[in-house]
């Protein structure tokens, strides 16, 4: 199952979830991330946190969702948005027929500098818990309606 995780800047939350799903997915999923207005670099705190969790950060980069609209791009089965509601942040929308769900998390990069490490850890913990709830599902055999409902439930967790 191919999963695209979207956010605005593609430097923190979407990178974290992409990394968690790819590390812990056991080959059942392939996660990608992108942004509607990419920051151009992965936030250093994202890289430090992932490294501290033993997750390889080689190849991670902030990229535009335009890369996934190309003819040769992988076909997405699920599109997750992870934008939060603070500061009127707008989540990008993905066209087409993939299953879509929202797993909003506040932007840890927007936290005051002195509380940013804690904000990144909290975002990671929320996204990791949701990723593991998803990976515990028999999603390969679920019908679309059940998958949509479970993804929405996980996003509220």
DSSP, collapsed to helix, strand or coil, labels residue 21 as helix
Look at residue 116 in the predicted model and tell me its pLDDT: 95
Compute φ and ψ for 118, nearest 5 degrees. Answer: -65, -40
Adjacency order of strands within the sheet including 78-81: 30-35, 2-7, 78-81, 99-102
Q: Has this prediction a pTM greater than 0.75? A: yes
Look at residue 83 in the predicted model and tell me its pLDDT: 86
Q: From CA 45, how far away is CA 119, in angstroms rounded? A: 10
Q: From CA 3, how far away is CA 34, in angstroms rounded? A: 11
Tell me the DSSP string of 122-138. HHHHHHHHHHHHHHTS-
Which residues of the chain, if any, have pLDDT below 50?
A: 86-89
Domain ranges within the chain, ordered by starting residue: 2-156
Task: Decide yes or no: CATH 3.40.50.2300 for domain 2-156.
Answer: yes
Look at residue 90 in the predicted model and tell me its pLDDT: 55
């Amino acid at each position: 199952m191919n999963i695209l995780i979207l956010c605005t800047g593609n430097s923190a939350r979407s990178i974290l979830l992409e990394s968690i799903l790819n590390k812990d997915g056991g080959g059942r999923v392939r996660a990608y991330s992108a942004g509607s207005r990419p920051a151009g670099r992965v936030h250093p705190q994202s890289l430090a946190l992932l490294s501290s969790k033993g997750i390889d950060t080689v190849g991670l980069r902030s990229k535009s969702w335009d890369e996934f609209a190309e003819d040769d791009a992988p076909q997405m089965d699920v599109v997750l948005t992870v934008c939060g509601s603070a500061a009127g942040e707008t989540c990008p929308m993905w066209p087409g027929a993939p299953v879509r769900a929202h797993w909003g998390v506040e932007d840890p990069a927007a936290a005051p500098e002195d509380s940013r490490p804690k904000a990144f850890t909290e975002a990671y913990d929320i996204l990791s818990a949701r990723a593991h709830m998803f990976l515990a599902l028999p999603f390969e055999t679920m019908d679309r309606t059940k998958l949509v409902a479970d993804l929405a439930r996980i996003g509220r967790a």
